[in-house]
Amino acid sequence: MKKRNFIQFLIAIWANSYLGFLIEGGIYTGRLKNLCFPGLNCYSCPLALTAPPLRILQHVMAPLRTLPVVALKGALYLTGSLLLYGLLLGRFVCGWICPFGFLQEMLYRLPLPKVGLPRALRFLKWALLVGLVLALPVAFKGETGYGEVWFCRIFCPAGTLEAGLPNLILEPQLRSLIGGLFYWKVVLLVVILLGAILYLRIFCKLFCPLGLIYGFFNRLGLFRLRWQEKNCLFCGLCEKICPMELKIPQELNSVECIRCLNCLNSCPTRSIELKRSFRLESRLDRLPFSVTEKRHAFRREDF
Amino acid sequence: MKIFPRVLWWLAGGFFLAGVFSGGFRFVFSRAASLCLSCMGLQ
C-alpha cells in the first residue's frame, strides 16, 4: 500500500471511529460533531465523529428564506471552514483525506477490465453543485417549511452506504420507511461502486460537488504545482500515471487535479514541484506549454 | 490581482471566527447530531 493510501486509510478510520453505538445505540452526539470534516463522510453513519460540509451547506441553503439569521450564523462558520480547508489544502482533501475517494481507489484495484469515459461528462458535477446543492434547497420548501437537502436526499451514495444500510441493519423499526427513494439510492450506489471498479474515481470525476468546490482553490490556495520546462524530458510519464487523466503541464492547477502528487513522484527529473504561494497563479505558471507543444510531441516520440 | 488570495485568507479567518463567536457551530451541531432520514433515502 502506498504512503498516500495508508494516510487515507488512517483518516477514514479516525473519522469513523465511534463505537459507542454498540452500547448506547444511535449516532455520535459529542463535541466533535461541531466540526466540519473536509471530505465526503455522512454524519448519520453510526461510526461518524464529525459533520460533512456538503450536507451543512445544504442545511444553510434550506432555511435561507424562512430563517435567514439562523442560516447566516451557520453560513459564517461553514464558509470560514470551507475557505480555510480550500486555501490550506484545496483538493489535497480529495487525494489524501476523503474516505469515499479512498474506497473508490481500493475498488479500482480489483483485477477487472477498465474503461474510459468522455471528458464532457465531468460537467455533471457542475449541474449537481448548482442544482441540487445550491439552488433547489432554497427554491423549494418541504412540509416543514424549510427547503430539502436535495443532493443528500436523492443522490449522495455515501449517505446510502454509510448511513442508510448500517442504520437499517441496526434499527429494524426504520425498515417500515423503505420506499422507492431508498431503492433508487441503492441502485445508484451499486452503479457508482461498480463504476469505480471499472473507471478510477468515477464519483470524484463526474459527480462530486465538494471536490469541485475545493478545485476552485487549486489556483488560489497555499500549495501549487509548478512545471519547469528546462528539466523536463517530455516522456509523458506524468500524464500516464495521473488518476484524473489530466493534460500535464497545462492542467497541473486545474479544478480537476486531486493533488495525489503521482506526477511529482513519478517524474525522473523532478520537473514538477510543489510550491507554496500566497499570490494568484500568474499567467506564466499557467501557459508555459502552449509555445512548446510541437516540441513536446516531437521529443515524446523520440523518447 | 496579487492581493486577491490574501483577501481570501482574511475572509476565511474572519468568517470562521465570526461563525464560532456567533454560535454558528451550534447550527452545525443541531443538524449533525440527529439521525437524518433524508441521507438514508428514507424520507
CA distance A97 to A284: 30
Per 3-state DSSP, what percentage of chain B is helix, strand, and coil (rounded to 5)? Answer: 75, 0, 25
The C-alpha cell that represents A212 in the structure block = 469541485
What's this model's pTM, rounded to 2 decimal places? 0.90
Crossing angle (nearest 10°) for helices A53-61 and A68-88:
150
Touching check for A157 and chain B: CB below 8 Å?
no
Cα separations (Å) of A37 from A19, A70, A98, A193?
A: 18, 21, 9, 22
Contact assessment for residue A263 and residue A242, using Cβ atoms and an 8 Å cutoff: yes
pLDDT tens per residue across span A167-191: 999 999 999 999 999 999 999 999 9
| Nearest partner of A105 among A255, A247, A205, judged by Cα | A205
Q: Are the beta carbons of B15 and A77 separated by less than 8 Å?
A: yes
pLDDT of residue A291: 44
Cα separations (Å) of A165 from A128, A169, A177, A255?
A: 23, 6, 13, 32
pLDDT of residue A284: 45
Question: Does the pLDDT of residue A279 top 80, yes or no?
Answer: no
Contact assessment for residue A225 and residue A264, using Cβ atoms and an 8 Å cutoff: yes
CA distance A258 to A82: 16
As a whole-number percent, the residues of chain A with pLDDT over 70 amount to 92
Distance of CA A55 to the CA centre of its chain: 13
pLDDT tens per residue across span A113-142: 999 999 999 999 999 999 999 999 988 877
From A182, which residue of chain B is nearest by alpha-carbon distance?
B41
**Closest Cα in chain A, distance from residue B43 (Å):** 7
> What average pLDDT does chain B have?
87
Residues of A in contact with B21 (CB under 8 A): none
Helix (H, G, I), strand (E, B) or coil at A120: helix
- The phi, psi pair for A23, rounded to 5°, reads -95, -55
Tell me the pLDDT band of A24, cut-offs 50, 70 and 90. Answer: confident
Tell me the pLDDT band of A254, cut-offs 50, 70 and 90. Answer: very high
CA distance B41 to B43: 6
Query: Which residues 19-78 of A have a C-beta within 8 angstroms of B?
Result: 26-29, 33-36, 42-44, 50-51, 55-56, 59-60, 70-71, 73-78
Question: Does residue A298 or residue A97 have the better pLDDT?
Answer: A97
Helix (H, G, I), strand (E, B) or coil at A216: helix
Complex-level ipTM: 0.91
Mean pLDDT on A232-243: 92
Query: Which residues 1-43 of B have a C-beta within 8 angstroms of A?
Result: 1-2, 4-6, 8-9, 11-20, 22-29, 31-43
Q: Are the beta carbons of B38 and A152 separated by less than 8 Å?
A: yes
